[in-house]
Amino acid sequence: MASSRPLVPPTRIDFTPEDQEWIAQRIKEVLASGRLTLGAFGEQFEREFAALTGAKHAIAVNSGTASLEIMLRAMDVAGKDVLVPANTFFATASAVIGAGGRPVLMDTDVATLSTSLAEIERRITPATAGIMIVHIAGIITAEMPAIAAYAKSKGIWLMEDAAHAQGATLDGKHAGTFGLAGSFSFYPTKVMTSAEGGMIVTDDDRMLEEAHIYRDQGKASFLQNTHIRMGYNWRMSEPHAVIGLRHLQGFAGLLAGRRKIARIYDAALTGENGLRPIATPKGCAPNYYKYVVMLPDGCDRARLKGWLKEHHNVHCSGEVYEVPLHRNEVLKHLDPGDLTGAETACGRQLCLPIFASMTEAQGHQVVEALTDAKTKGVL
């Protein structure tokens, strides 16, 4: 029998009626102006996102996949190796392949869901052009400064796939700013969204210049039809920029909403319920894109998720990620062997419901559901 308890959805995309009104008004202005892409709202979105991260430049594009591929093309990875984590979204690796490079998979530090410096040292070869670090779930490993220093000492670049990490910081430094450039996604499930969209942040003037060229079909300039790079249509439209701008302007509230729920989970999940939250690395302020817990040995994740839904109306989201990259049919040829940390991180995690407008009552309902699951032997 289905639970009669109130619904706790896995996530929610929050646009208040005021947000909707604000967006509609500006999209009308865009339509009236006739400047529907690469216009003033896009530029404002770039300026304000750069300010959020502390980066010198931001370049808006039409997806987080686009921002990754542009950064990689700008660094000319064709024919070169790029270190990427096995525990990440498909696009982290597919963008390397799109740019003509070869992704070399790295194992996962289960404690942070990220890559350790030791693992980078193990996988680096003379063919390595650079390192892509991914801040899974919006958590930044405390090793980031050491990883940046190591990349520098080896004369290779460090870039970040910060798709999950808007607003996440380590010792006050924003995700995406530890290396040469950082890539963000504004896909609807993210902490802030522009419906579809992405952003590159960088302090590097050459990266800015290259990104402008690549995102607009590789053209020498907006008004010129001569193509000097193998670019693509990676432009962000003005309506998308307007939507992103609204979420960005209310970003502190979006972040605070998630952090309030994370505090409830942190206080309640102390180990007795069999669950172990990913501990926040020292100095890190995560954005709680996901709240990840590790399940005890032998726990059947699918059964637990079904039980929480049926008995408590608590719906957990998909994992980040259910399987590592090399377990996907099209990427299995990338398996370098010995990715046991990634297998464990993917196989044992559970993502609890979390979103900006989630109420404290919903947070407590999730905790009660987990406690009941423990009592009933489902956990």
Q: Which residues bind ligand PLP (CB under 6 A)?
A: 63-65, 88-89, 91-92, 134, 161, 163-164, 185, 187, 198
CB of 101 to ligand PLP, least distance (A): 16
At 6, list the tokens. Answer: 């109130």
Q: Among residues 187 and 265, whose Cβ is nearest to ligand PLP?
A: 187
CB of 341 to ligand PLP, least distance (A): 17
Q: Among residues 317 and 365, whose Cβ is nearest to ligand PLP?
A: 317
Closest residue to ligand PLP in the complex (CB): 64
CB of 377 to ligand PLP, least distance (A): 34
At 366, list the tokens. Answer: 């999730």
CB of 163 to ligand PLP, least distance (A): 3
Cβ proximity of 247 and 199 under 8 Å? no
Mind giving me the DSSP string for 205-229?
HHHHHHHHHHHBTTBSSTT---B-S
Query: Please, which residues have CB within 8 angstroms of residue 179's CB and are 6 or more apart in sequence?
Result: 131, 133, 148, 151, 157, 158, 159, 160
Q: Among residues 90 and 152, whose Cβ is nearest to ligand PLP?
A: 90
Written as one letter, the residue type at 375 is: T
Q: Among residues 110 and 132, whose Cβ is nearest to ligand PLP?
A: 132
Q: DSSP 3-state helix, strand, coil percentages of the chain (rounded to 5)? A: 40, 15, 40
CB of 3 to ligand PLP, least distance (A): 30
CB of 44 to ligand PLP, least distance (A): 20
At 75, list the tokens. Answer: 């660094």
Q: Among residues 164 and 246, whose Cβ is nearest to ligand PLP?
A: 164
Q: Among residues 176 and 363, whose Cβ is nearest to ligand PLP?
A: 176
Cα gap 157→333, rounded to integer Å: 25
Burial 48-82 (b: 16+ CB within 10 A, else e): ebbebbebebbbbbbbbbbbbbbbbbbbebeebbb
CB of 67 to ligand PLP, least distance (A): 8
Q: Among residues 72 and 134, whose Cβ is nearest to ligand PLP?
A: 134
Q: Among residues 159 and 269, whose Cβ is nearest to ligand PLP?
A: 159
Cα gap 168→175, rounded to integer Å: 6
Cα gap 80→83, rounded to integer Å: 10
CB of 136 to ligand PLP, least distance (A): 7
Cα gap 348→341, rounded to integer Å: 11
Cα gap 122→125, rounded to integer Å: 9
Question: How many other CB atoms are there within 10 angstroms of residue 212's CB atom?
Answer: 17
Could you give phi then psi for residue 19, rounded to 5 degrees? -60, -45
Alpha carbon distances (Å) from 127 to 69, 74, 345: 19, 18, 28
Residue 184 β-bridge partners: 199
With tokens 């969209």, the residue in question is: 197
CB of 197 to ligand PLP, least distance (A): 7
Q: Among residues 154 and 327, whose Cβ is nearest to ligand PLP?
A: 327
Question: Would you call the peptide bond into 214 cis, given omega within 30 degrees of 0 as the criterion?
Answer: no
